[in-house]
Amino acid sequence: MEIIRTVKQISSLTSDARSKGKSVGLVPTMGALHAGHISLVERARAENDVVVVSVFVNPTQFNNPTDLATYPRTEEADCRLLEAAGVDYAFIPTVEEMYPEKDERIFDLGQVADVMEGPMRPGHFNGVAQVVSKLFYYTHPTRAYFGEKDFQQIAVIRRMVELERIDVEIVDCPIKRADDGLALSSRNVRLSETQRSVAAGIYKTLKESVKLRSGKTLGEVKQYVIDTINAMPEMEVEYYEIVHPLTMQPLKDWEDAGKLAPVGCITVYCGDVRLIDNIKYKD
Protein backbone atom coordinates (compact mmCIF):
# COMPACT_ATOMS: atom_id res chain seq x y z
CA MET A 1 0.00 0.00 0.00
CA GLU A 2 1.22 3.48 -0.83
CA ILE A 3 0.40 6.47 1.35
CA ILE A 4 -0.39 9.44 -0.86
CA ARG A 5 -0.52 12.94 0.59
CA THR A 6 -1.01 15.17 -2.43
CA VAL A 7 -3.94 15.76 -4.73
CA LYS A 8 -1.60 15.87 -7.71
CA GLN A 9 -0.25 12.37 -7.04
CA ILE A 10 -3.56 10.62 -6.26
CA SER A 11 -5.15 12.30 -9.24
CA SER A 12 -2.41 11.15 -11.58
CA LEU A 13 -2.37 7.55 -10.24
CA THR A 14 -6.12 7.12 -10.50
CA SER A 15 -6.59 8.82 -13.87
CA ASP A 16 -3.77 6.66 -15.20
CA ALA A 17 -5.54 3.52 -13.91
CA ARG A 18 -8.85 4.61 -15.46
CA SER A 19 -7.18 5.37 -18.80
CA LYS A 20 -5.87 1.78 -18.84
CA GLY A 21 -9.45 0.50 -18.43
CA LYS A 22 -9.09 -0.33 -14.71
CA SER A 23 -11.92 0.30 -12.26
CA VAL A 24 -11.25 2.41 -9.17
CA GLY A 25 -13.16 1.88 -5.90
CA LEU A 26 -13.08 4.74 -3.39
CA VAL A 27 -13.93 4.45 0.30
CA PRO A 28 -14.07 7.96 1.84
CA THR A 29 -13.43 7.95 5.60
CA MET A 30 -12.47 10.27 8.42
CA GLY A 31 -10.17 7.63 9.90
CA ALA A 32 -10.42 6.04 13.37
CA LEU A 33 -11.19 2.96 11.34
CA HIS A 34 -13.17 0.00 12.66
CA ALA A 35 -14.73 -3.16 11.29
CA GLY A 36 -17.54 -1.14 9.69
CA HIS A 37 -15.05 0.74 7.48
CA ILE A 38 -13.16 -2.46 6.74
CA SER A 39 -16.36 -4.10 5.46
CA LEU A 40 -16.65 -1.24 2.93
CA VAL A 41 -13.00 -1.71 1.96
CA GLU A 42 -13.51 -5.45 1.47
CA ARG A 43 -16.47 -4.82 -0.80
CA ALA A 44 -14.47 -2.24 -2.78
CA ARG A 45 -11.58 -4.73 -3.01
CA ALA A 46 -13.89 -7.44 -4.37
CA GLU A 47 -15.45 -5.17 -7.01
CA ASN A 48 -12.55 -3.04 -8.33
CA ASP A 49 -9.06 -3.28 -9.79
CA VAL A 50 -7.70 -0.42 -7.71
CA VAL A 51 -8.85 0.53 -4.20
CA VAL A 52 -8.35 4.00 -2.72
CA VAL A 53 -9.28 4.84 0.88
CA SER A 54 -9.24 8.48 1.87
CA VAL A 55 -8.55 9.35 5.51
CA PHE A 56 -9.40 12.99 6.14
CA VAL A 57 -11.14 14.67 9.06
CA ASN A 58 -13.02 17.26 7.06
CA PRO A 59 -13.32 20.53 9.01
CA THR A 60 -16.06 21.99 6.80
CA GLN A 61 -18.62 19.38 7.91
CA PHE A 62 -18.22 20.01 11.65
CA ASN A 63 -20.61 22.61 13.00
CA ASN A 64 -19.29 22.02 16.50
CA PRO A 65 -15.62 22.97 17.10
CA THR A 66 -15.32 20.66 20.14
CA ASP A 67 -16.51 17.72 18.06
CA LEU A 68 -13.83 18.54 15.45
CA ALA A 69 -11.12 18.94 18.10
CA THR A 70 -12.01 15.69 19.89
CA TYR A 71 -12.58 13.59 16.77
CA PRO A 72 -10.26 10.56 17.15
CA ARG A 73 -7.15 10.61 14.94
CA THR A 74 -5.32 7.28 14.69
CA GLU A 75 -3.32 7.37 11.45
CA GLU A 76 -0.81 4.62 12.23
CA ALA A 77 -3.41 2.09 13.33
CA ASP A 78 -5.60 3.06 10.35
CA CYS A 79 -2.74 2.42 7.92
CA ARG A 80 -2.06 -1.02 9.43
CA LEU A 81 -5.72 -2.00 8.96
CA LEU A 82 -5.81 -0.65 5.41
CA GLU A 83 -2.61 -2.44 4.43
CA ALA A 84 -3.99 -5.73 5.82
CA ALA A 85 -7.23 -5.21 3.87
CA GLY A 86 -5.31 -5.00 0.59
CA VAL A 87 -5.78 -1.30 -0.17
CA ASP A 88 -3.65 0.10 -3.01
CA TYR A 89 -3.58 3.78 -2.02
CA ALA A 90 -4.34 5.45 1.31
CA PHE A 91 -4.99 9.09 0.43
CA ILE A 92 -4.20 11.12 3.57
CA PRO A 93 -4.06 14.83 2.71
CA THR A 94 -3.66 17.77 5.09
CA VAL A 95 -6.36 20.40 5.47
CA GLU A 96 -4.19 22.85 3.44
CA GLU A 97 -3.89 20.30 0.64
CA MET A 98 -7.66 19.77 0.42
CA TYR A 99 -8.59 23.41 1.01
CA PRO A 100 -5.81 25.67 -0.33
CA GLU A 101 -8.56 28.29 -0.51
CA LYS A 102 -11.78 28.60 1.46
CA ASP A 103 -14.44 26.46 -0.23
CA GLU A 104 -17.32 28.87 -0.87
CA ARG A 105 -19.48 26.43 -2.79
CA ILE A 106 -23.08 26.12 -1.62
CA PHE A 107 -24.88 23.03 -2.92
CA ASP A 108 -28.60 23.08 -3.57
CA LEU A 109 -29.18 19.81 -1.75
CA GLY A 110 -32.97 20.19 -1.67
CA GLN A 111 -35.42 18.21 0.41
CA VAL A 112 -33.09 15.33 1.36
CA ALA A 113 -31.05 17.79 3.44
CA ASP A 114 -33.83 19.87 4.97
CA VAL A 115 -34.83 17.41 7.71
CA MET A 116 -33.17 15.53 10.59
CA GLU A 117 -29.36 16.08 10.44
CA GLY A 118 -29.95 19.10 8.16
CA PRO A 119 -31.50 21.49 10.71
CA MET A 120 -29.74 19.78 13.66
CA ARG A 121 -26.26 20.35 12.20
CA PRO A 122 -26.42 23.51 10.06
CA GLY A 123 -23.81 23.45 7.28
CA HIS A 124 -22.90 19.82 7.91
CA PHE A 125 -24.26 18.38 4.68
CA ASN A 126 -22.88 21.23 2.60
CA GLY A 127 -19.46 20.41 4.08
CA VAL A 128 -19.94 16.73 3.25
CA ALA A 129 -20.88 17.67 -0.34
CA GLN A 130 -17.81 19.91 -0.59
CA VAL A 131 -15.33 17.27 0.53
CA VAL A 132 -16.91 14.29 -1.23
CA SER A 133 -17.13 16.19 -4.53
CA LYS A 134 -13.43 17.10 -4.19
CA LEU A 135 -12.58 13.45 -3.42
CA PHE A 136 -14.53 12.34 -6.49
CA TYR A 137 -12.75 14.91 -8.70
CA TYR A 138 -9.32 13.94 -7.36
CA THR A 139 -9.64 10.11 -7.29
CA HIS A 140 -11.76 9.40 -10.41
CA PRO A 141 -13.72 6.55 -8.81
CA THR A 142 -15.80 4.09 -10.81
CA ARG A 143 -17.63 3.28 -7.57
CA ALA A 144 -17.72 4.88 -4.12
CA TYR A 145 -18.73 3.03 -0.96
CA PHE A 146 -20.72 4.45 1.96
CA GLY A 147 -22.15 2.84 5.11
CA GLU A 148 -25.91 2.91 5.65
CA LYS A 149 -25.44 4.01 9.26
CA ASP A 150 -25.32 7.52 7.79
CA PHE A 151 -28.49 6.85 5.84
CA GLN A 152 -29.36 10.49 5.13
CA GLN A 153 -25.77 11.24 4.12
CA ILE A 154 -26.03 8.72 1.26
CA ALA A 155 -29.16 10.51 -0.07
CA VAL A 156 -27.29 13.83 0.14
CA ILE A 157 -24.29 12.41 -1.73
CA ARG A 158 -26.56 11.00 -4.46
CA ARG A 159 -28.10 14.47 -4.80
CA MET A 160 -24.65 16.13 -5.02
CA VAL A 161 -23.59 13.61 -7.70
CA GLU A 162 -26.75 14.42 -9.69
CA LEU A 163 -26.17 18.19 -9.36
CA GLU A 164 -22.48 17.95 -10.34
CA ARG A 165 -23.16 15.30 -13.01
CA ILE A 166 -20.35 13.11 -11.70
CA ASP A 167 -20.11 9.71 -13.35
CA VAL A 168 -19.73 7.45 -10.30
CA GLU A 169 -21.76 4.58 -8.89
CA ILE A 170 -22.73 5.13 -5.24
CA VAL A 171 -22.75 1.80 -3.42
CA ASP A 172 -24.55 1.69 -0.07
CA CYS A 173 -23.39 -0.99 2.34
CA PRO A 174 -25.23 -2.48 5.34
CA ILE A 175 -24.58 -1.27 8.89
CA LYS A 176 -21.96 -3.28 10.73
CA ARG A 177 -22.90 -3.93 14.37
CA ALA A 178 -21.17 -5.11 17.54
CA ASP A 179 -22.36 -8.44 18.98
CA ASP A 180 -24.86 -6.63 21.21
CA GLY A 181 -26.28 -4.71 18.23
CA LEU A 182 -24.71 -1.25 18.69
CA ALA A 183 -23.88 0.22 15.26
CA LEU A 184 -20.10 0.49 14.92
CA SER A 185 -18.94 4.10 14.97
CA SER A 186 -15.66 5.91 15.55
CA ARG A 187 -17.44 7.79 18.35
CA ASN A 188 -18.14 4.61 20.36
CA VAL A 189 -14.63 4.76 21.89
CA ARG A 190 -15.75 7.88 23.77
CA LEU A 191 -18.44 5.93 25.69
CA SER A 192 -17.71 4.85 29.26
CA GLU A 193 -18.15 1.14 30.02
CA THR A 194 -21.61 1.75 31.53
CA GLN A 195 -22.69 4.03 28.67
CA ARG A 196 -21.44 1.47 26.17
CA SER A 197 -23.66 -1.25 27.61
CA VAL A 198 -26.72 1.06 27.82
CA ALA A 199 -26.17 2.17 24.20
CA ALA A 200 -26.94 -1.36 23.00
CA GLY A 201 -30.54 -0.54 23.94
CA ILE A 202 -30.87 1.70 20.88
CA TYR A 203 -30.84 -1.12 18.34
CA LYS A 204 -32.77 -3.46 20.66
CA THR A 205 -35.57 -0.87 20.84
CA LEU A 206 -35.53 -0.22 17.10
CA LYS A 207 -35.81 -3.96 16.39
CA GLU A 208 -38.63 -4.31 18.90
CA SER A 209 -40.46 -1.41 17.20
CA VAL A 210 -40.40 -3.23 13.85
CA LYS A 211 -42.35 -6.07 15.47
CA LEU A 212 -44.94 -3.55 16.73
CA ARG A 213 -45.58 -2.13 13.26
CA SER A 214 -48.54 -4.38 12.32
CA GLY A 215 -50.69 -3.45 15.34
CA LYS A 216 -49.82 0.22 15.79
CA THR A 217 -49.93 3.53 13.95
CA LEU A 218 -46.68 5.09 12.78
CA GLY A 219 -47.10 7.82 15.41
CA GLU A 220 -47.49 5.24 18.19
CA VAL A 221 -44.39 3.32 17.10
CA LYS A 222 -42.39 6.55 16.94
CA GLN A 223 -43.46 7.50 20.46
CA TYR A 224 -42.65 3.99 21.74
CA VAL A 225 -39.06 4.32 20.49
CA ILE A 226 -38.58 7.80 21.94
CA ASP A 227 -40.10 6.93 25.35
CA THR A 228 -38.27 3.60 25.68
CA ILE A 229 -34.85 5.06 24.90
CA ASN A 230 -35.37 8.21 26.99
CA ALA A 231 -36.14 5.96 29.97
CA MET A 232 -32.64 4.44 29.76
CA PRO A 233 -29.95 6.01 31.99
CA GLU A 234 -27.90 8.81 30.35
CA MET A 235 -29.83 8.53 27.09
CA GLU A 236 -31.66 11.39 25.40
CA VAL A 237 -33.25 11.08 21.98
CA GLU A 238 -32.52 14.12 19.82
CA TYR A 239 -34.94 13.00 17.11
CA TYR A 240 -36.61 9.89 15.84
CA GLU A 241 -38.23 10.14 12.42
CA ILE A 242 -39.72 7.42 10.25
CA VAL A 243 -39.02 8.62 6.72
CA HIS A 244 -39.42 7.86 3.03
CA PRO A 245 -36.24 5.98 2.01
CA LEU A 246 -35.58 8.19 -1.02
CA THR A 247 -36.87 11.67 -0.14
CA MET A 248 -36.01 11.48 3.59
CA GLN A 249 -39.33 13.21 4.32
CA PRO A 250 -41.02 12.14 7.59
CA LEU A 251 -44.09 9.95 7.01
CA LYS A 252 -47.48 10.24 8.71
CA ASP A 253 -48.74 6.73 7.85
CA TRP A 254 -47.06 3.43 7.08
CA GLU A 255 -48.58 3.46 3.57
CA ASP A 256 -46.95 6.81 2.65
CA ALA A 257 -43.80 5.14 1.27
CA GLY A 258 -45.83 2.98 -1.16
CA LYS A 259 -44.05 -0.30 -1.82
CA LEU A 260 -40.77 0.93 -0.30
CA ALA A 261 -39.81 0.18 3.30
CA PRO A 262 -40.02 3.23 5.60
CA VAL A 263 -36.78 3.88 7.48
CA GLY A 264 -36.61 4.92 11.12
CA CYS A 265 -33.68 7.30 11.72
CA ILE A 266 -32.55 8.09 15.23
CA THR A 267 -30.03 10.33 16.94
CA VAL A 268 -29.42 9.81 20.63
CA TYR A 269 -27.12 11.50 23.10
CA CYS A 270 -25.52 8.96 25.41
CA GLY A 271 -23.92 11.33 27.93
CA ASP A 272 -22.26 13.80 25.56
CA VAL A 273 -21.64 11.28 22.78
CA ARG A 274 -23.98 11.65 19.80
CA LEU A 275 -24.94 8.28 18.34
CA ILE A 276 -26.93 7.62 15.19
CA ASP A 277 -28.65 4.52 13.87
CA ASN A 278 -31.51 3.49 11.63
CA ILE A 279 -33.77 0.55 10.81
CA LYS A 280 -35.94 -0.48 7.86
CA TYR A 281 -39.61 -1.23 8.56
CA LYS A 282 -39.87 -4.22 6.22
CA ASP A 283 -42.94 -6.51 6.34
Instruction: Count the residues of the shown chain that bind ligand PAF, applying the rule CB under 6 A.
Output: 10
- Which is nearer to ligand PAF, 26 or 257 (by Cβ)? 26
State the DSSP H helix or E strand holding residue 52, giving kind and residue range, or none if neither: strand 50-55
- Rounded to a whole number of angstroms, the minimum distance from the CB of residue 56 to ligand PAF is 7
For position 90 contacting ligand PAF by CB under 6 A, the verdict is: no
Does 37 participate in catalysis according to the annotation? yes
Whichever of 150 and 201 has its CB closer to ligand PAF, that residue is: 150
Interaction of residue 52 with ligand PAF, rule CB under 6 A: no
Surface-to-core class of residue 2, CB atoms within 10 Å of its CB (0-12 exposed, 13-18 middle, 19+ buried): exposed
Q: Is 128 in the site for ligand PAF (CB under 6 A)?
A: yes
From the candidates 34, 37, 124, 140, which is the catalytic residue? 37
Maximal CA-CA distance, the chain: 58
The Cα 120–Cα 274 span in angstroms is 12
Residue 262 in contact with ligand PAF, rule: CB under 6 A: no
Coil/strand/helix, residue 262 = coil
Answer yes or no whether residue 161 interacts with ligand PAF by CB under 6 A.
Answer: no
29 near ligand PAF (CB under 6 A): yes
- Contact status: 131 vs ligand PAF (CB under 6 A): yes
Asked whether 150 and 144 are in contact (CB, 8 A), the reply is no
> Which amino acid belongs to residue 275?
L
d(C-alpha 17, C-alpha 98), whole Å: 22
Residues contributing to the site for ligand PAF (CB under 6 A): 28-30, 58, 61, 128, 131-132, 150, 153
